[in-house]
Amino acid sequence: MLLKKTLFERIPSQWRLATMLALFVGTSIALTLVLVRSTVSRDLRRFDSAIILDELMEYAAIYAANGLQGVRDIFPAGQSSESHGLRITSANGQTLFESVPEDMQVFDWPKTVPEQDWETRKTHLQNITSPKTELELTVGAYKLRDGHLLWFGRTDAVAQLYQQNITLYLWLAGILAAAVAMLPVIWYSHEVLTPIRAFTASARRLHLPEGTARLMTPRAIPELKTLASVVNAGLDQILSLTRELQSTNDQLAHELRTPLARIRGNLETLLDKSDNAEAQDAAARSLEEIDRAAQLVQTILTVRAGDHGALRLYRQPTPVHQLIQNLVELFTPAAEDRQLTLDIVQGLDVVLNIDRELINQAISNLLDNALAYTPKGGRVTLRWQAEGTGAIIFVEDTGLGVHPEEVEMIWERYNRGSAAIARHPGIGLGLSLVRAIATAHGGSAGVANRSSKGARFWINLPQGS
């Protein structure tokens, strides 16, 4: 039952609606056909019986007036002689006159009527079938004054043709009704599902880093437009608060830089002039915390300057090979502590005009992340390749990779991917700093999951001027 429900839920809603309408219309047509055919069949039987009784009375009167010869003369000239049959038999069943069309001769006409049937009525009706035809013959008998029996027969050929026509018209009406019933499905698909698809497509863009994507509902029904406007209003408020928070953080970082420098100076003075070992130890630990806080402030200011295109660069010609080699030597002990392999894939040496310190910091952030998120026994690889007059520097690992929905989100300030679990502390500034530095150099930064395992981060750097 659960499987059936799951399969039904996978069917698009417009097909579900169409299926329900088709079942409803089909059931309605079937019930109508059964009811109409039953009613019409009953009425046609009554109609045929009435015709037979009328004909019996008419030919009984002719027989009474003109005898058997009068019936012989009048019946063949009648318009209904081809669809009706007439017989006159004696009381013992001997045929005195018979005019039966060829189609009716396949039926076994009765010869007599039991005497007890004449005690309560003057006429006798009987339905006769034959294996040689699908038609049914209704025969009426009337006892004449001289004791002879007058038989009049009529098949249901006209009735069946009439029923077939009614059935055909009902099916045509049902098909037309089904076509009309599909109009709500078309309206539902165009006016509801199409806007919902646009709604969903725009909702998928809400996680984009710029935060300006909004729900779009072109030609939507009023309820969806109202929902979209409410959600968009909330998103606008969130974006405004986020920008205000970022501005406050930037301003706060700028204002903290000078007090932190002063505190550091005071602690260095205390460390130099104090003879107390405990005071010196406390001052040294405080200096480490001040340096960490100052680095955080500097990172925030660097990211901010990169976002606004105001980051000042001190460019100098730098061989990429030498830059990578120095970083690998610096991070090798940390990799060995984590039981990881850190190696280089040599590329064509390129000399770039870059800010060596900032690029060092950017690649170091990528290496820190790679070492942190690669399990023991894994491998971290640095490689580069020439790209025009510039170069692309890659940092590859064999970790868990990046969730596809987080490929852009992780580059934003204060955003961390789902892989950033509690044992990897941080506030989400490392990758935003990498992108800010790359952008300031006129390049770009990105990430993609490797086909085998892990992630591949890169920094694309032009030659620079």
Q: What is the b/e burial string over 149-180, where b = at least 16 CB atoms within 10 angstroms of the residue's CB?
A: bbbbbbbbbebeeebeeeeeebeeebeebbee
CA distance 278 to 289: 17
- Please compute the mean of the pLDDT values over residues 255-283 and round it to a whole number: 71
Backbone angles phi, psi at 152, to 5 degrees: -135, 125
Token code pair at residue 306: 């990169």
Instruction: With a cut of 70, say whether residue 367 has pLDDT above it.
Output: yes
Residue range 291-327, pLDDT digits in tens: 767 666 666 666 666 665 666 788 899 999 999 999 9
Bridge-partner residues for 175, per DSSP?
Answer: none
Reported as a pLDDT band with limits 50, 70 and 90, residue 72 is: confident
The pLDDT assigned to 222 comes to 77
Higher pLDDT, 153 or 240: 153
What CATH number corresponds to the domain at position 232?
Answer: 1.10.287
Residue range 424-435, pLDDT digits in tens: 566 677 888 888
The pLDDT assigned to 1 comes to 40
Contact 158, 151 (CB under 8 A): no
DSSP H or E stretch at residue 230: helix 222-273
Same domain, 250 and 364: no
CA atoms within 13 Å, Cβ hemisphere of 53: 11
Domain final residue, candidates 307, 328, 362: 307
Same domain, 100 and 139: yes
What CATH number corresponds to the domain at position 368?
Answer: 3.30.565.10
In sequence order, what E strands does 296-421 have? 316-319, 341-345, 351-354, 379-387, 390-396
Q: Residue 202 falls within a domain, yes or no? A: no
Sheet holding 123-129, edge to edge: 95-99, 84-89, 149-155, 136-143, 123-129
Nearest to 98 by CA among 139, 157, 152: 152
The pLDDT assigned to 382 comes to 92
Q: Residue 5 falls within a domain, yes or no? A: no
CA 389 to chain centre: 47
Nearest to 323 by CA among 391, 422, 259, 236: 391
CA distance 65 to 5: 78
Same domain, 324 and 287: no
The whole domain housing 442 covers: 316-461
Residue range 158-184, pLDDT digits in tens: 888 888 888 888 888 878 887 887 787
Same domain, 132 and 241: no
Strands 379-387, 341-345: pairing is: parallel
CA 100 to chain centre: 68
Residue range 74-88, pLDDT digits in tens: 887 665 556 788 889
The total domain count for the chain is 3
The pLDDT assigned to 459 comes to 92
CA distance 126 to 139: 5
Nearest to 155 by CA among 87, 106, 88: 106
In sequence order, what E strands does 271-359 have? 316-319, 341-345, 351-354
What CATH number corresponds to the domain at position 37?
Answer: 3.30.450
Instruction: With a cut of 80, say whether residue 235 has pLDDT above it.
Output: no
Q: Residue 192 falls within a domain, yes or no? A: no
- Please compute the mean of the pLDDT values over residues 189-197 and round it to a whole number: 74
Backbone angles phi, psi at 89, to 5 degrees: -125, 160
Q: What is the CA radius of gyration of the chain?
A: 49
Q: Express as a percent the part of the chain with pLDDT over 70.
A: 78
Least confident of 21-30, 434-443, 448-457: 21-30
The chain-wide mean pLDDT, for the chain, equals 79
Residue range 100-152, pLDDT digits in tens: 888 888 888 888 887 766 766 678 888 888 888 888 889 999 988 888 899 99
* Residue whose token pair is 């209003």: 233
